[in-house]
Amino acid sequence: MKRNKHLPLTETVYYILLALLEPAHGYLIMQKVEELSNGEVRMAAGTLYGAIDNLLKLGFIQPVPSQDKRRKVYLITEKGKEVLQLDFKRMQHMIKITEVALIKK
């Protein structure tokens, strides 16, 4: 089977998709990503804006209605969930074979 061309996801994209399993606006995504990564991934505004723009174009996330007039709120799409799932499986496989390989030695 041909592999999904969007794989592997970058670390930042993976975290953004994970954060958007629940609706969030830009700054909240930034905070969630930092929290999910134990403070390892800190995204700057320009980088996050570009990433959101790109994910919208790919159809992995979508804007959803919100109370906030200034800030757009986003949520992951079915397509986004699918690719997140695929990348999760890809990494699971890597973890499994690495564990086996390292324990053997």
Q: Applying CB under 8 A, which residues contact other proteins?
A: 12, 25-27, 30, 42-51, 69-72
Instruction: Using the minimum distance from each CB to other proteins, give the nearer residue, 72 or 93.
Output: 72
* Nearer Cβ to other proteins (47/98): 47
Give yes or no for a contact between 80 and 63, defined as CB atoms under 8 angstroms apart. no
CB-nearer residue toward other proteins: 53 or 99: 53
**How many angstroms separate the CA atoms of 89 and 81, rounded?**
12
Closest separation between CB of residue 99 and other proteins, Å?
Answer: 30
Residue 2, burial from CB neighbour count under 10 angstroms (0-12, 13-18, 19+): exposed
Nearer Cβ to other proteins (71/93): 71
- In the complex, what is the shortest distance from the CB of residue 71 to other proteins, in angstroms, rounded to a whole number? 5
* Minimum distance from residue 89 beta carbon to other proteins (Å): 25
| CB-based contact 29:19 (threshold 8 Å) | yes
d(CA 76, CA 86): 15
Pairing of strands 61-64, 24-25: unpaired
**Min. distance of Cβ 48 from other proteins in angstroms?**
7
